[in-house]
Amino acid sequence: ILLDPDPRLVRPGADPDSWSLDFLLDYAKAIDQKFVNLKPGELRITVDRAGKATVKFVGFPGGDFSEVVDTNRVQTIDTPNGHAIKAYLGARDDAFFNDLPGFFRSINYAPQFYKVSWQAEKELREIATPKTLLELEGNTWFNFDPARPNHGDPLKLDLPPGAPESMVIQPTAYKKDANGNYRFVYSGRDAQAGININALVFEIPLAFLTTDPSNERIVNAWGESWVLKASDKIDTIPDEPERNLWPWLVPVLLLLLGLFWLVRGTHKKGRIRGLVVIVLGIGAAVLVNFLFAGPEADLDEQMRQYKIVDTDGVPFEDAALSERLHTRQLGANNLQLVRAFAIRTAHLGWGFGPSIAALGLRSAFDHGDEMIPQHRTYKTAVAAFPRVKRVLFQELRMPDDSWKKTPGVNIPLKRGFEVFIPNVCAIDMDTTGTWPFGRRLEDQVATRFLAVFLDMSQKVNGQPIHVDILGEQALWDAAPIEPKTPPNPLFNDKPFLTEFPYLADPW
């Protein structure tokens, strides 16, 4: 678990109506300069076979220390500088209440519904049928089947012959029932109900994280999962990501040229020239290694034994925007993905935008006159950006002002790009910490993520559209759709506790 407290960022002062792709990239570059040199405090947790957990606190103002604690029990860790940290490491009820198969149905995600080997997952991750919130006519591979209601949860079928090409359709209409109602790809059912998770729960004083708690009011938090390189449990992820070899071209050429002059030189001046060029080549190699070193360059001895396999910051960023790709497990420093995110958001918009319009709502995504989802991809962010500009730059309206906690502190509403760049859960200590100003357990983040594609300048049934509008039953009661339910459940399968560790007891 990585934690970095910082002052509140000042939003760029450009007129939102004039914001451009260059503006977005400049903003990302400025954030990148901050996060590339980020030195967050770390909580490293490992558990032995006897059920004892070692918690290492690394990089916090009070100095490094470690504590061995029992699992499945609330405990207090006393820090060397006098703070008390509550800890619970063990099984709890899963707090993520959502219809995950419904989301995967909306993007035609084959591994959720069919038996897909990890070797073939790249080709079969998302079938090239348009994404959608409403079932499409002819999409029998992913539409709900009353004869097999558990398809995708947990039933997985064999892939049809010729997959994935044989599974692709080009729809011309939404599927409707005898009453003319659309069929929702979501069921509103909690797919995580009755499931436990391994939870790492800490309650930490802000004063432990920073020596300036009155100024550093934004706590950037994210998690990473690492596996021993010697482990055979996860053999699908290389120890090292692919590296860019082009920067090494100059030092290699200098070294080869220097060696040529050194060996073939017929007089002293030529050999001296060769030595000088070799020294320049070595210097260039040192510089390239410093500028383009792999991620292991900053790891200490313990972490060099592990490889990173997962990161979690913004809910749904991995599944929706990073496409669950191993090469995009970058933690907080995901600024290199800004162009990819613009392209991906446009791709999702061609599915979700027309679906939203079909329900009588207005989408922030520009889908023109198209009312049926399209499967469109872009090679460049320049081509995608005009379609997604409003999705990225519009303010995400809150239902009311209850999220504001500290009187006198002016906190602007978040814009879409601020939520997903960088990939951290940025907890604002002057708010209640509700999404997108953090993430409270009771937040229905999956539904709020979908709301990002709504035009927040509009109204529905006389009510301004806001991040929770898709969770209001009245909207679905009036919509020509079945089932008449919000896309995800409104409450967890068990009530959250009012005291630490807050997550419900395990099943």
Q: What is the DSSP string of 288-308?
A: HHHHH--GGGG--TTGGGEEE
Q: What is the pLDDT of residue 238?
A: 52
**353 φ, ψ to 5°?**
-60, -55
**374 φ, ψ to 5°?**
-120, 150
Spatial contact of 182 and 142, defined as CB atoms under 8 Å apart = no
Written in H, E and C, the secondary structure of 357-384 is HHCCCCECCCCCCCCCCCCCCCCCHHHH
CA distances to 353, 451, 459, 475 from 462, in Å: 21, 17, 6, 11
Question: DSSP secondary-structure letter at 438?
Answer: S
Q: How far apart are CA 259 and CA 275, in angstroms?
A: 8
pTM of full prediction above 0.85: no
Neighbours of 497 (CB within 10 A): 14
CA distances to 43, 291, 306, 309 from 299, in Å: 15, 16, 10, 15
Residue identified by tokens 């490094």 is 64
Q: How far apart are CA 143 and CA 237, in angstroms?
A: 32
Residue identified by tokens 């009187």 is 407
Three-class DSSP category at 157: strand
The pLDDT tens digits along the chain (507 residues) read 999 998 887 665 555 566 777 777 776 666 666 655 677 899 999 999 898 999 999 999 999 999 999 999 999 999 999 999 999 999 999 999 999 999 999 999 999 999 998 778 778 889 999 999 999 999 999 999 999 999 999 999 999 999 999 999 999 999 999 999 999 999 999 999 999 999 999 999 999 999 999 999 999 998 888 888 766 555 555 555 555 566 677 778 888 887 877 777 667 777 778 788 788 878 777 776 665 555 555 567 787 888 877 778 777 665 555 555 555 555 555 555 677 778 888 999 999 999 999 999 999 999 999 999 999 999 888 899 899 999 988 999 999 999 999 999 989 999 888 887 777 889 999 999 999 999 999 999 999 989 999 999 999 988 899 999 999 999 999 999 999 999 999 999 999 999 999 999 999
Spatial contact of 480 and 182, defined as CB atoms under 8 Å apart = yes
One-letter amino acid at 405 equals: K
DSSP β-bridge partners for residue 222: 2
Q: By C-alpha distance, which of 381, 423, 425, 422 is closest to 32?
A: 422
Spatial contact of 297 and 37, defined as CB atoms under 8 Å apart = no
DSSP β-bridge partners for residue 2: 42, 222
**The tokens of 74 are what?**
């609330």
